[in-house]
Amino acid sequence: MSGHSSIVGGSTAARVLACPGSVVANLALPKSIAISSEYAEEGTFYHEVMAKLLEARQALSTENLEVLAARWRGKRFHDRELTQHHIDEGITPALVALSELEQFYGGGCRVMAVEKRVQFPNLPGVFGTIDLILRNKDTVLHVDFKFGQGVPVYAVYLDSDDEAKVNEQLLFYLVAARHTLRKLVYEPNDRLVVAIIQPRIEGDVFSATALEDWELSDFEKAMQRAVVTALTPQAPRAKGEHCRWAPCKVTCPLWNEPLLDLAAFNFVKPDVKSAFSEDAYGKHLAHAKTLVDMAAVIKTEVDLQLHTYLANGGRVPGWRLKEKKKMRQWIEEKKVEAALRKLGFKPSEIYRRKLLTFEAADALAKRKRVKIPDHLRVAPPSAETTIAQDSDPAPVVTPVIAIEQFRASLAALVGTTTSLPKPETGNRRTENG
């Protein structure tokens, strides 16, 4: 059963608010392009393990979940067996972050709901599944776990206008949970908090913020308007960051029509006899960059949908599936060692000692409940630069600044450390773990 409705759910709330027309556009796509990936399957696995642990905590009133997870090694969850690597990399850091989050809001929390389906008010058939609800004497925590290692996700983020906004997925869950579980969980004057725990990223593992009633009311009304609009003929479409995971990019005119320019685009270089002015050539490159970036994004989406469609039995003229080649790997270690010794390999040539990675050390530190000092890990020196849009918050780099950055980074690497302030996230009060 799906974790959210086909119209809108927590993970699609931001997209539907920004692009109501995407609802019908996605429903119009063949069901056989329903996309799953190894990352999605891995996330489902971690969520299932966490859900079982938290259900045990709820039933047994125990908080010693790390010991319980260790006992479950070798047990199958979703599509794979739980290993010590899974525990070290995802489960233990998630449990530690959850404990820190609870303590930040006063501790003494009880588990009220785990993987609970919640109905959005006044929108029949619109629902989502919230990972965890906790409460103590005056606070209700609404927690969403993210087990990806890619882009960090925060409870509060900066939009394109540098305005602080609450994560729409969290707002959706809170509004729906309060509507569905009002009598079972909530009391008057509760402090309502939403939080994201993302244990497999570097930096802040959890982020959270408290919400006011007016914010929930505004979001509820906006969501209801967006859904009503989405189900009308000619619902408006909009292109933006919300399109990242939207399958309908493939059929969206806002994504496809500009690609027609790409076929007709005249890629030229200035020559000595008739050079472009700096202004004209700069505009030429800006246009070219926009087109090729758009082409790259939609190529990724088309390839993904094409593969999924073929794998589910669809037929695409000119395309078929083939076996994916994988890198060869060693057989059993002892057999390899014995064979290499016979070939004249020395032990020091077969096994090489290496300092453990920061990721492995960080996972171990979380288990030991200690923190690795920041000065032990610094960015390597670099005199390189990369391109960025004007809207990027990173400072502009000139050749002189690049040299100074290289010097500062080199100094840090050899033992001189500099403490840098964290970037501001706007006026909204947020709490990061």
Classify residue 433: in a domain, yes or no. no
State the pTM of this model: 0.68
Q: Which of 269, 12, 40 is nearest to 128 (CA)?
A: 12
What span, in angstroms and rounded, lies between the C-alpha atoms of 429 and 427? 6
Q: Which residues lie closer than 8 Å to 185 by C-beta, 6 or more apart?
A: 112, 113, 133, 135, 140, 177, 178
Q: Which residues lie closer than 8 Å to 370 by C-beta, 6 or more apart?
A: none
> Are β-strands 191-197 and 139-145 bridged in parallel, bridged antiparallel, or unpaired?
parallel
Tokens, residue 305: 């949908």
CA 185, 217, 228, 32 torsion-angle sign? negative
Is 265 in the same domain as 331?
yes
Q: How many domains does the chain have?
A: 2
Classify residue 95: in a domain, yes or no. yes
Cα 360-366-368 angle, rounded to 5 deg: 105
What span, in angstroms and rounded, lies between the C-alpha atoms of 95 and 66? 8
Classify residue 217: in a domain, yes or no. yes
Classify residue 373: in a domain, yes or no. no
Identify the domain boundary among 353, 368, 387.
Answer: 353
- Contact indicator for 255, 300 with CB cutoff of 8 Å: no
Identify the domain boundary among 230, 261, 283.
Answer: 230
- pLDDT tens string, the chain, 433 residues long: the values are 455 677 888 889 999 999 999 998 888 877 766 666 777 889 899 999 999 999 999 988 666 898 999 999 999 999 899 999 999 999 999 999 999 999 999 999 999 999 999 999 999 889 999 999 999 999 999 999 999 887 788 999 887 777 888 999 999 999 999 999 999 999 999 999 999 999 988 777 889 999 999 999 999 999 999 999 998 888 999 988 888 878 888 778 887 776 666 666 665 555 544 555 666 767 767 777 877 777 777 787 788 778 877 877 888 888 888 887 777 888 888 899 999 899 998 888 888 777 777 777 777 777 677 888 888 877 776 666 676 777 777 777 665 554 555 566 555 555 544 433 333 344 455 566 6
Is 343 in the same domain as 270?
yes
- Using DSSP, state whether 63 is helix, strand or coil: coil
Is 170 in the same domain as 312?
no
Classify residue 407: in a domain, yes or no. no
Classify residue 432: in a domain, yes or no. no
Is 218 in the same domain as 268?
no
Is 224 in the same domain as 336?
no
Is 206 in the same domain as 270?
no
- Any alpha helices (H) in 251-354, and if so which ranges? 253-264, 278-311, 333-342, 347-350
Classify residue 394: in a domain, yes or no. no
CATH number at residue 71: 3.90.320
What span, in angstroms and rounded, lies between the C-alpha atoms of 204 and 87? 19
Q: Rounded to whole angstroms, what are the CA distances from 244 to 196, 301, 336?
A: 19, 9, 44
Q: Rounded to whole angstroms, what are the CA distances from 81 to 37, 171, 423?
A: 18, 33, 40
Helix, strand, coil distribution of the chain in percent, nearest 5:
45, 10, 40
What span, in angstroms and rounded, lies between the C-alpha atoms of 45 and 34? 18
Q: Residue 31 is part of which domain span?
A: 10-230
